[in-house]
């Protein structure tokens, strides 16, 4: 048996990786919503680079320059009903205690176009606010993104996701219809965080994707709200770690802060 040399193996691996790099990326058709009466050049130029489709009401007038610019950028025009085009959504934000650049982020969001509700610093209250009405979305700035995402997902009707950049936000919007986005400010600039927020709002009011309904059935939903997954809340479970302190939601919460129902950090 002929054993390949290290150099031959290295050449083969490089060839395979080069082929993968040349493979085209899938086209993620992130969509935008325009609810105005006139779509002109300025509005088209304001669309993000991730937009590949724009939803427009039948009564909206598109100027020739705007139509040509949409064509050059490869953005498809999708005509929808007035009701769907007007789904701009209702939006709020939470700045948890300890979040870096909290004051600057709050000022930027409150001054941003479109309007934001300051939901304070309580994650669970924000999650209930999102689930109370359809078409709501919230951004949570947290230093513990994975924990915040998990806690928010315990509230029926919340589709939470943690993203590290605008591309991740676009995927969460497209594939999950995320209505509660968790961002970790540490290590990011304010412009990059605001860009993530802009991408989150770009497609209008959050909508639950069809695949969540498909094949799950009413028996697999949680609560009596439409499109809520799981039939019941998780059962209480004793921690597998000796000395763990389970609470009403189950599991070992020793490492969580007292504000989140835990016993503080274990040393």
Q: Do the bridges between strand 61-62 and strand 38-39 make them parallel or antiparallel, or are there none, so unpaired?
A: parallel
What pLDDT, in 10s, does the model give residues 39-88? 899 888 888 777 888 888 788 899 999 999 999 999 998 887 666 666 67
Q: Distance between CA atoms of 67 and 109, rounded to whole angstroms?
A: 31
The phi-psi region of residue 66 (left if phi > 0; otherwise alpha if psi is between -120 and 50; otherwise beta) is: alpha
Q: Specify the pLDDT at position 35.
A: 65
Work out the end-to-end distance of the chain between its first and last CA atoms, rounded to an integer number of angstroms: 57
Q: Specify the pLDDT at position 233.
A: 44
What pLDDT, in 10s, does the model give residues 105-128? 999 999 887 789 999 999 999 999
Q: What is the pTM of this model?
A: 0.55
Per DSSP, which regions of the chain are E strands?
A: 30-34, 38-39, 51-56, 61-62, 76-79, 90-95, 117-118, 136-141, 160-162, 180-183
Q: Distance between CA atoms of 61 and 66, rounded to whole angstroms?
A: 10
What pLDDT, in 10s, does the model give residues 183-220? 999 989 999 999 999 889 887 888 888 777 643 433 34
Mean predicted confidence (pLDDT) in 237-265: 47
What pLDDT, in 10s, does the model give residues 137-186? 999 999 999 999 999 999 999 999 999 999 999 899 888 999 999 999 99
């Amino acid at each position: 048996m002929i054993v390949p040399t290290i150099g031959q193996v290295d050449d083969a691996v490089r060839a395979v990786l080069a082929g993968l790099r040349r493979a085209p990326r899938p086209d993620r058709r992130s969509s935008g919503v325009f609810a105005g009466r006139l779509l002109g050049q300025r509005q088209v130029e304001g669309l993000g680079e991730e937009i590949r489709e724009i939803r427009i009401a039948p009564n909206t007038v598109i100027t020739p320059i705007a139509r040509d610019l949409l064509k050059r950028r490869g953005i498809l025009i999708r005509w929808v009903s007035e009701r769907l085009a007007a789904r701009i959504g209702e939006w709020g934000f939470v700045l948890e205690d300890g979040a870096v650049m909290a004051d600057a982020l709050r000022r930027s969001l409150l001054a941003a176009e479109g309007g934001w509700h300051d939901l304070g610093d309580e994650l669970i209250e924000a999650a209930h606010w999102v689930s109370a009405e359809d078409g709501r979305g919230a951004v949570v700035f947290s230093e513990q993104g994975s924990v915040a995402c998990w806690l928010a997902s315990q509230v029926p009707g919340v589709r939470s996701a943690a993203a590290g950049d605008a591309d991740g936000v676009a995927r969460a919007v497209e594939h999950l219809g995320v209505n509660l986005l968790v961002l970790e400010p540490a290590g990011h600039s304010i412009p990059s965080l605001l860009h993530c927020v802009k991408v989150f709002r770009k497609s209008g009011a959050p909508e639950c994707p069809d695949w969540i309904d498909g094949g799950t059935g009413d028996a697999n939903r949680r609560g009596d709200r439409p499109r809520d997954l799981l039939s019941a809340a998780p059962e209480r479970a004793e921690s597998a770690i000796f000395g763990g302190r389970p609470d009403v939601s189950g599991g070992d919460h020793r490492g969580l802060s007292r504000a989140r129902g835990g016993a503080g950090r274990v040393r």
